[in-house]
Chain A
Amino acid sequence: MPSSQRLTATLLPLTLLSWVVLLVSTLLRASPPETASLSALPDWVTLVAQAVFAAGVFIYYRFQPDPLRGTDFVGLFRRLVLGPGILASICVALHLLERFVQYQLPSSDRTFFAVIYTINSGLFILFLASTTYTWRSLVLFRSSGRLRREWELFEILLGGTLLLRLLGWELPTYLMLLVIGGLAIFGVYLSGNQKWVAYLNRRQKWEVVFMQLAILLCMTIFVAYFVRIQYDPKLIAPEPQHAFLLLTVFFAAFYAVMGLFVTFFNLPTAGVFEQKREEILSLQRLTQLIQRGQTEEDVYSMLFDATVQTVEADAAWLDIEVSDEAYKGQRYHITEEQCTAIRGLLADYNLGHIEYLNNDLPNSSGFRSLGLPFGSLIVMPLRSTKRQYGALYMLKNQPQGFDRENLGILQTFTSQTILSIENLQLVAASIQNERVQEELKIASTVQESLIPKDLPIDNWFEISSHAMAAKEVGGDFYDFLHLPGQRLAILIGDVSGKGITAAFHMAQMKGIFHALMQENPLARNEREKFPVPSKFMAMANKALVHCLEKSSFITASLYIIDYENRGFVFARAGHCHTLYYHSIKEEVSYFRTTGLGLGIIRHDAYEKHIKNQFYDYNPGDVMVIYTDGIVEARGQIRRNTARIDCNRCWSVRITLRPMKLRI
């Protein structure tokens, strides 16, 4: 942040300058009067320099970025201990050096003493500032805005009081006590914010306890030094300085002690927190399994391991009744016979499929008779709103082994598992759906390839066809076959239903057509060489009996057109009536003949339901053969009106050349 950088840039020289002023002032005070070239600076200069220095250091630390990274409290403490720890060591070393020099060269020269003192007081203020702002990040860890405002108020009050004290504006004692007392209470209140302790595990708590002790030790070293100096005969600084430093230490030390106690008393609960953490991790692992798209068995095993571990069961088993896989469950420290015995007992009490907790198995006569070593039992059914998947059984050796919380955990685990399982099933279903779509596409291609692309060509007729598949695979088809002489067989048909089955039946029908319309070498006369349409239908009906399922049927019409005799014969097996244009009469009509669809009755009686019809045509006549795809059209609105429309449009267009006929 540029503003805080600018602040730092101006603060640092000012702080250093104030420290130099402080040093000079102390030196001047300390130098023996006889050698003094300058008179000592007045007290207020020293005090102002001290105040500026302290304020500068505190403000500098205040605008540093938050030293806490994430929830790395141990790292935060480590940095704090190492920094002030080194400062304290320097302080002690300097003090020892001073003592040593004094011992070696006893003199009344206080210059050296003064330098050491100034350095140490500077170090002490650095230490206090860094500690205070470390505490700030701990107090404000995940805190509300209110606490932040309270902390700012505390900073201002503390700073104000300390500076007033430093500048020696003495208030009446009772007022001073009141202010300091109030501030102390405020400090205690803020020290109560030790939320961060909950985020440590047991090992981290121990580490933090030791580091807090180390910080307190550093503080003690500093305080001891200053307390000792206070009574030193060579004391050189004005008195208010000490009071300021000693008061500053109050809050820092108090927070450290509070933190130490809170951490220490939280040590026994570390286990609980770790357990909760472990549960959350297990749940996360369970959730991740869904995304990795593993098998149901994996998910159930995961649940089983996680729950056994979490509730610390001595024995457990899992029954899975409904699974797409062969997985039936698993056991832990219990035999299949024991499982069966307990299952039987629970079924007797009608408890097999409900949530059930019994913490006093030895007092249950039924259970006692099984002679099993268990004291507590939890039954947790695995069910969603739709169905029951199975049940989870947890056992402990000692009675009163489970509590309500265990039940809650198991509920969370099992519901998460069921969610995973149902997700897996959804994924499987969608894959299946995709496969079906793919197969339909293939069926559609096959169907298309079964319909002849090239129409028969001869000089005595004109022919044109139009086929348009619906969105799904249907069962509409047509086919041609040239017969010896100038004859042409045309088959048109429609298989009931849609989809792959319809496409298959259509292929069968095509096969039947080509098989039956072969010349019979044993025929005694010309008429018997090829089956007449009604005979063809009867034979096809017989052939279809073996492959058409009960609710399916096929409608078809077979036409055999004979150019030499200028006539045709046809049979209609339940198929749409043939539309015919008489060129002489110039009118359009249907051939209304009777005839039953194929596969509707599956015995020889079928022959009675099918008739041949003969017709002699005239040049220019037009015959329209179609399937009910046209009549039914698409959508409901056209369903009722399609036929009428067709009639009309054919009437209009039928006089055109057949090549142009389009529906």
Chain B
Amino acid sequence: MKITQQTTAHTLTLSLDGELDASSSVILDTELTKPEILNYQKVLIDCQRLNYISSAGLGVFISHLQRFQDANVKLVFFNMQEKVHNVFEILGLDTLMTIVPSESEATAI
């Protein structure tokens, strides 16, 4: 799992590369736990290279969901592969989280 960061004034983009499983989700959790992340208005997650997400990986997003909402930080997923989107959908997360097809739509939100 490789996570690359890209920041603009109000937006933080995290690009996930690889598989988000029990061991790699720890890295993501560390990134999302950083207090300064709440200073952004938007946190975009680029899922283009995310090949697989396990329940532990989903757990990381779920555990930060409420915190982001409370701080009024928008969490937006984009470029999600079909199979990963399927997992989000089955679990019902697509109704809770903002998932958009492309980066331009993500920045437009």
Do B55 and A553 have beta carbons less than 8 Å apart?
Answer: yes
Report if B95 contacts A (CB, 8 A).
yes
Contacts of A496 in B (CB 8 A): 55-56, 58-59
| A551-B62, A551-B63, A553-B62 known; A600-B56 Cβ under 8 A | no
Residue-by-residue, is A482-518 near B (CB-CB < 8 Å gives 1, otherwise 0)? Answer: 0000000000001011100000000000000000000
How far does the Cβ of B79 sit from chain A's closest Cβ, in whole Å?
18
Q: For A553, give its contact among B22, B29, B52, B59 (CB under 8 Å).
A: B59
How far does the Cβ of A350 sit from chain B's closest Cβ, in whole Å?
32
Report if B108 contacts A (CB, 8 A).
no
Q: For A639, give its contact among B52, B59, B65, B95 (CB under 8 Å).
A: B52
Distance in angstroms between the alpha carbons of A552 and B61 in the assembled complex: 11
Majority secondary structure, A binding face: loop
Do B92 and A574 have beta carbons less than 8 Å apart?
Answer: yes
Do B22 and A600 have beta carbons less than 8 Å apart?
Answer: no
Contacts of A640 in B (CB 8 A): 83
Do B59 and A609 have beta carbons less than 8 Å apart?
Answer: no
Contacts of A576 in B (CB 8 A): 90
Do B60 and A551 have beta carbons less than 8 Å apart?
Answer: yes
- For A573, A600, A602, A609, which residue has the most chain B Cβ atoms within 10 angstroms? A600
* Nearest B-chain residue to A502, judged by Cβ: B55
How far does the Cβ of A173 sit from chain B's closest Cβ, in whole Å?
94
Q: For B59, give its contact among A552, A596, A601, A628 (CB under 8 Å).
A: A552
Report if A595 contacts B (CB, 8 A).
yes
Q: Which of A606-637 contact B (CB under 8 A)?
A: 609, 628, 636
Do A596 and B91 have beta carbons less than 8 Å apart?
Answer: yes
Majority secondary structure, B binding face: helix
Residue-by-residue, is B22-63 near A (CB-CB < 8 Å gives 1, otherwise 0)? Answer: 100000010000000000000000000000100110111011
Distance in angstroms between the alpha carbons of A577 and B92 in the assembled complex: 11
Report if A406 contacts B (CB, 8 A).
no
Do B56 and A574 have beta carbons less than 8 Å apart?
Answer: no
Contacts of A498 in B (CB 8 A): 22
Do A574 and B90 have beta carbons less than 8 Å apart?
Answer: yes
Contacts of A552 in B (CB 8 A): 59
Residue-by-residue, is B84-99 near A (CB-CB < 8 Å gives 1, otherwise 0)? Answer: 0000001111011000
Distance in angstroms between the alpha carbons of A550 and B63 in the assembled complex: 5
- For B19, B59, B95, which residue has the most chain A Cβ atoms within 10 angstroms? B59
Contacts of A577 in B (CB 8 A): 90
* Nearest B-chain residue to A602, judged by Cβ: B66
Contacts of A636 in B (CB 8 A): 19, 52
Report if A275 contacts B (CB, 8 A).
no
How far does the Cβ of B32 sit from chain A's closest Cβ, in whole Å?
11
How far does the Cβ of B76 sit from chain A's closest Cβ, in whole Å?
18
How far does the Cβ of B10 sit from chain A's closest Cβ, in whole Å?
26
Q: Which of A587-602 contact B (CB under 8 A)?
A: 594-597, 599-602
Q: For B55, give its contact among A497, A594, A596, A639 (CB under 8 Å).
A: A497
Q: For B92, give its contact among A550, A595, A628 (CB under 8 Å).
A: A595
- For B59, B60, B83, B91, which residue has the most chain A Cβ atoms within 10 angstroms? B91
Do A600 and B52 have beta carbons less than 8 Å apart?
Answer: no
How far does the Cβ of A445 sit from chain B's closest Cβ, in whole Å?
23
Do A596 and B56 have beta carbons less than 8 Å apart?
Answer: no
Do A594 and B52 have beta carbons less than 8 Å apart?
Answer: no
Contacts of A497 in B (CB 8 A): 22, 55-56, 59
Do B95 and A594 have beta carbons less than 8 Å apart?
Answer: yes
Do B56 and A551 have beta carbons less than 8 Å apart?
Answer: yes
With an 8 Å Cβ cutoff, the count of chain A residues facing the other chain is 27
Distance in angstroms between the alpha carbons of A602 and B58 in the assembled complex: 16
Distance in angstroms between the alpha carbons of A601 and B67 in the assembled complex: 12
Do B93 and A596 have beta carbons less than 8 Å apart?
Answer: yes
Distance in angstroms between the alpha carbons of A552 and B58 in the assembled complex: 9
* Nearest B-chain residue to A575, judged by Cβ: B90
Contacts of B93 in A (CB 8 A): 574, 596-597, 600
Do B92 and A609 have beta carbons less than 8 Å apart?
Answer: yes
Distance in angstroms between the alpha carbons of A469 and B92 in the assembled complex: 26
| A553-B55, A553-B59 known; A600-B91 Cβ under 8 A | yes
| A496-B56, A640-B83 known; A574-B91 Cβ under 8 A | yes
Distance in angstroms between the alpha carbons of A597 and B91 in the assembled complex: 5
Do A600 and B55 have beta carbons less than 8 Å apart?
Answer: no
How far does the Cβ of A642 sit from chain B's closest Cβ, in whole Å?
11
Distance in angstroms between the alpha carbons of A573 and B92 in the assembled complex: 8
Contacts of B90 in A (CB 8 A): 555, 574-577, 628
Contacts of A609 in B (CB 8 A): 92, 95-96
Residue-by-residue, is A555-581 near B (CB-CB < 8 Å gives 1, otherwise 0)? Answer: 100000000000000000111110000
Contacts of A602 in B (CB 8 A): 66
How far does the Cβ of A663 sit from chain B's closest Cβ, in whole Å?
18
Do A596 and B83 have beta carbons less than 8 Å apart?
Answer: no
How far does the Cβ of A373 sit from chain B's closest Cβ, in whole Å?
52
| A574-B91, A640-B83 known; A596-B58 Cβ under 8 A | no
Contacts of B19 in A (CB 8 A): 636
Distance in angstroms between the alpha carbons of A639 and B19 in the assembled complex: 12
How far does the Cβ of B90 sit from chain A's closest Cβ, in whole Å?
6
Do B52 and A601 have beta carbons less than 8 Å apart?
Answer: no
* Nearest B-chain residue to A577, judged by Cβ: B90
Distance in angstroms between the alpha carbons of A104 and B95 in the assembled complex: 136
Do B59 and A551 have beta carbons less than 8 Å apart?
Answer: yes
Q: For B62, give its contact among A595, A600, A628, A639 (CB under 8 Å).
A: A600
How far does the Cβ of A342 sit from chain B's closest Cβ, in whole Å?
40
Distance in angstroms between the alpha carbons of A577 and B87 in the assembled complex: 11
Contacts of B83 in A (CB 8 A): 640
How far does the Cβ of A435 sit from chain B's closest Cβ, in whole Å?
21
Distance in angstroms between the alpha carbons of A594 and B52 in the assembled complex: 22
Distance in angstroms between the alpha carbons of A498 and B96 in the assembled complex: 25
How far does the Cβ of B95 sit from chain A's closest Cβ, in whole Å?
6
Contacts of A639 in B (CB 8 A): 52
Do A600 and B96 have beta carbons less than 8 Å apart?
Answer: yes
Distance in angstroms between the alpha carbons of A614 and B52 in the assembled complex: 33
Contacts of A574 in B (CB 8 A): 90-93
| A498-B22, A640-B83 known; A597-B59 Cβ under 8 A | no
Distance in angstroms between the alpha carbons of A553 and B22 in the assembled complex: 14
* Nearest B-chain residue to A475, judged by Cβ: B55
Do A594 and B92 have beta carbons less than 8 Å apart?
Answer: yes
Distance in angstroms between the alpha carbons of A325 and B24 in the assembled complex: 32
| A496-B55, A497-B22 known; A600-B92 Cβ under 8 A | yes
Between-chain CB contacts (< 8 Å), 23 pairs? A496-B55, A496-B59, A551-B56, A551-B59, A551-B60, A551-B62, A551-B63, A553-B55, A553-B59, A555-B91, A574-B91, A594-B95, A596-B91, A596-B92, A596-B95, A600-B65, A600-B92, A600-B93, A601-B65, A601-B66, A602-B66, A609-B96, A628-B90
- In order of increasing CB-CB distance, the 6 nearest A-B pairs are A596-B92, A551-B59, A496-B55, A551-B63, A550-B63, A574-B91
Given contacts A551-B60, A555-B90, 15 further A-B contacts (CB under 8 A): A496-B58, A497-B55, A551-B29, A551-B62, A553-B59, A574-B91, A594-B92, A596-B92, A596-B95, A597-B91, A597-B92, A600-B62, A600-B96, A601-B65, A628-B90
